[in-house]
Each structure stands twice: as C-alpha cells, then as structure tokens.
Amino acid sequence: MAGANKTGVNNPDPNKPWCSKCRGHTEFTEEEGTRSSSEGSYTVTIRKCVECNKEIYVPYAKKDGFLHMTIMCFAVFIGFYLLLLYISDLSGDESEKEAIGFLIKTLPVICGGSWLYFTISSGLFYLKWKRWATELGWSKSE
C-alpha cells in the first residue's frame, strides 16, 4: 500500500513520516511486517522512502520512544540496585557478598549500555529532524 505525502515535503510536521537521508517529508510506501517476541508475533507497519528506500519514522513517535525507554531503564536500574542491596544484607557468605558487590558495580554499565543501545537512534533522529525543521522556520509552538 503506498502512502502519499506529495505536498509539503519541506513543510516541517512532527506528526508526519520524515526521511533523514533525503531530509524531507517525502513520499513513502507502507509494508506490513511481522515481528516475533517471547510473547508471540505481531504485525508492524514499515514505512520506506520512495526516493532512497530507507525506513522512515514519525519524529514525535521517535521522541516518545526515547522518553519511555529512558524512564524504563532508570526504573529497572533503581529496582535491581535496591534488590541487590537487599540481597547483600541477607547474604552471610563472603563470596556471595563479593559477587553481589560486583553486580552492583556493573549494574550502571549494563543499564547505561542498554539505554544507549535502545535510545540513541531515537534521540538522534528527533534531534536531526528538529534541526532541519528549525532551519526552515519551524517552532515548537506550531
């Protein structure tokens, strides 16, 4: 199914798909794709730019994904950190305490790495769109 966005290629709209390679709200095609997870499979809509065939995204959707992932990673970090502290108080064996101490020290690296991996593309995509939109006179109040 072809999605049409023939008009307004250079009119910034954070709710319309944007191609970061072509730097515009270009024409796009939509394909149905199937993704699998531990809970089963589900269908997603994949939008691709007609000009360069790169997958394109809606800027505000990517921004929201960035914020949700940041909150989730922070919550997981705090939860695991508190759990490890609680377990270390219950543990009496010295080797167990050393292992838990190691986990407490590596937890920020694990959570930070996960946050970077999952969010950097979303955040950079939105910032790239925002820079482009600002160059064309867009302001957040619009």
pTM above 0.85, yes or no: no
Distance CA 62, CA 78 (A): 25
Distance CA 92, CA 102 (A): 16
pLDDT tens profile 16-70: 999 999 999 999 999 998 888 788 888 888 999 999 999 999 998 887 777 787 8
Percent of the chain predicted with pLDDT > 70: 91
By the 8 A CB rule, do 30 and 47 touch? yes
